[in-house]
Structure 1
């Protein structure tokens, strides 16, 4: 049992942000450490960084690892919200997670698939009249429409653009982990506007002044009671309600990545058209291959060991999310875009972890992951089967040194036309 190797420095936060998704991989290689090393960040805190499938299994062991209270305040205040389910643990977390999971019925998921298919198709005429379409921007508007409709939230057409913009600002706030973040106030203000709007709908639902359909997120959250029989505070309820459809809006990054993948690998478009199962494999590979979440924080609940190295209670731990999915010992030829790798995938909760790992019901694995896959499948089918378009010259760079990850141009298309079989 050797000493844990260390990335020297009093505070490596700026180095982390400068190297982005590649920081952990770069340090593992530089230090000659396969799965574990020590760094200091976020004000000089000691952090044990772990990577790989076994690391993910440890990270999502509720008896050994505590995630509550470890997210940076900036991220909580802007992306998740104060008191959000992501910041809870134990019985409280399981109880509220059960509420989220209760929405994942076969009927609700089928409805989401139909909404996605129909909203993109109904948007065809508008896009045909546009000189250029920025897929990053267009998809965040469409996904806002889909997400709010699915959640039972009343979102008038004139408010959709505002909500979509506010959501994008909030999601983009992840870049504020280190150093000055000029957009912090804008992110906090954006969250407040959306929270105010949703809290009003919670209150109006409870007063019987608006009537969301039973089974929708708005209805279920407004009427939910905790294990002590108490309704949720209306503000906290609004925060958790937002977290049912906010992850769907963040999928706009996967949508632009998906169109980039189809553009760079044209055969995948043809396979989506000809193979009913290929859109699923393609969507999973987009989620694995492209940058989304770089790493996640937690702390040791008790004295533990990882690969023979002792980690003391309360020590900060960071799980390598992006790097784990790009390791040779986790996925064969990980730097190749190869959707067929998911044809016989065993569904492990510890290797494909773009939105977290572990068990859906008891861990912090995103309850919206199934929804992400459904939306991606239907969106990729739409762009592969229902329309044609041209891809003009543009900057298609995906900068892995920047968090969060983007297609530099947003992925721009033009001359979009509906495919009509006139035979």
Structure 2
């Protein structure tokens, strides 16, 4: 029985609280529960808090569009501080959110996106040439370094203010530790504070004329951004937004590692790309984004009384969208577990329904404006690797540990470049 049709009461999952099974298998537990109940929405408790879990394309639109949910109040404090922090675009709603989001869209589309892809190809190509003939390289270490250099160059950060290794450690740990708790999270929070201090000082120096920012670069633009009062954003907020441009670029390292894993497991595509046949690269990138386990779910609090197929969701209720389950929903993706780049040209899937980076409109809703840039970076990395001869080494076939958040290749993907 499905909640996609006429009114069906949202069922309740067995057990008093689902925290432990969710933490044990956050990517697959929600969908398995929904499948067992024959539904796309169910009620349960997580951390003893009542919550409605929803999945599917319709559920994604319900969750992201129309300002129905306040995500900022639903995020754990550690996630807020690691990935966004107070005053950032994702913590805003309404006109304030739309105004700030427009600034991000302006920086992430058109010629700026093309420049980002060009810099990425240059950086990947140079690094890979330097790695030729060396021993196995751990991609979960090397890819964040490459993309940090790309991000800092693209943003227009002066070379003497970059410190690529330190920035790479800071930005990557924000991503890797966002779904964890413990000593690693506390270290990441300390690194976040250091990174914010660096960005705050850089913004202040640009505004005061002590540091030059090239016109047209993201650094110059963010330094001039204003708030609802038409006054320059506080330096601390502008610093957070600068990091919100840099960190997602570095986070693409996660998708690139899984793209390389897919190429290793799909040798026909690897051979075709190496031969310069890139006809299927767009579909390949879409499948990487759809299949890669990144963040399994996102939660929000209802901003008003809502209706889900005739069943009420009260104001301030907690709702969780199953991201991984939505990207593997068989009603939207025939044979969802198959890595099939050609499905899009057959009409067996719509790339716009991939919710790895949200849903809805990039300006008005909470869909990431950097989604096209993410696709461009993944495609650029594939092209750069395809110009080289490389192989994955270590235990075969590589396995994915889904109990980690984000999921990871067991032991990390090790690559040798020839």
- Where on the TM-score scale, by shorter chain, does this alignment land: which range? over 0.9
Match of 1:6 among 12, 16, 20: 12
1:114-161 CA-partner distances (Å, limit 9, x unpaired): 101111111133212521111121111000000111111235598211
Q: Distance in 2 between the 1:299 and 1:73 partners?
A: 15
Instruction: List alignment gaps of at least 5 residues for structure 1.
Output: 418-423
Tell me what 1:421 maps to: none
Q: How many residues align structurally?
A: 410
1:234: Cα distance to partner? 0.4
CA distance 1:327–1:346, change in 2 (3 Å): closer
Secondary structure of the 1:7 match is coil
**Misfit runs of 4+, over 6 Å:** none
Q: Following the alignment from structure 2 to structure 1, what is the Cα–Cα distance between the partners of residues 311 and 19?
A: 24
Give the RMSD, CA atoms, in angstroms: 2.0
Deviation, structure 1 residue 394? 2.5
What is the deviation of 1:10?
A: 4.5
Q: State the partner residue of 2:182.
A: 181
Q: Which of 363, 383, 404 does residue 402 from structure 1 map onto?
A: 404
Provide the rounded CA distance (Å) in 1 between the counterparts of 2:296 and 2:109. Answer: 30
Q: Does 1:327 align with 2:329?
A: yes
Give yes or no for contact 1:136–1:411 (8 Å, CA) kept in 2: yes
Q: TM-score, normalised by structure 2?
A: 0.93
**Pairwise mapping of residues 213-224 of structure 1 onto structure 2 (< 5 A)?**
213-224=214-225
2:207 matched residue in structure 1:
206
CA deviation map 1:164-207 (0-9, x unaligned): 1122211112223xxx5232220110101111111111001001
Asked whether 1:54 is paired with 2:55, we answer: no
Counterparts of 1:93-104 in structure 2, within 5 Å, are 93-104=97-108
Corresponding residue of 2:282: 280
SS at match of 2:178: helix
Which residue does the alignment assign to 1:420? none
- 2:45 is aligned with 1:40: yes
User: What is aligned with 1:411?
Assistant: 413
Deviation digits for residues 269-318 of structure 1 (CA, Å, limit 9, x no counterpart) = 13334434422221111010120121111122221111222111111111
2: distance between equivalents of 1:326 and 1:314? 28
5+ residue gaps, structure 2, are: 1-6
Distance 1:157 1:100, change over 3 A: closer
Structure-2 separation of matches of 1:63 and 1:254? 28
User: Under a length normalisation based on structure 1, what TM-score does the superposition of the two structures give?
Assistant: 0.92
Say if 2:283 and 2:342, in contact at 8 Å, map to a contact too.
yes
1:253 Cα deviation from its structure 2 partner = 1.0
Q: Within 1, Cα distance between the matches of 2:161 and 2:205?
A: 20
Partners of 2:364 and 2:39 lie apart in 1 by 29
1:138 corresponds to which of 138, 142, 150:
142
Give the 3 Å change call, closer, same or farther, for CA 74–379 of structure 1 in structure 2.
Answer: same
Residues 411 and 156 of structure 1: is their aligned pair in 2 closer, same or farther, counting only changes over 3 Å?
A: farther
Question: Is the Cα–Cα contact under 8 Å of residues 50 and 317 in structure 1 kept in the other structure?
Answer: yes
Q: 1 CA distance for matches of 2:323 and 2:177?
A: 18
SS where residue 390 of structure 2 aligns?
strand
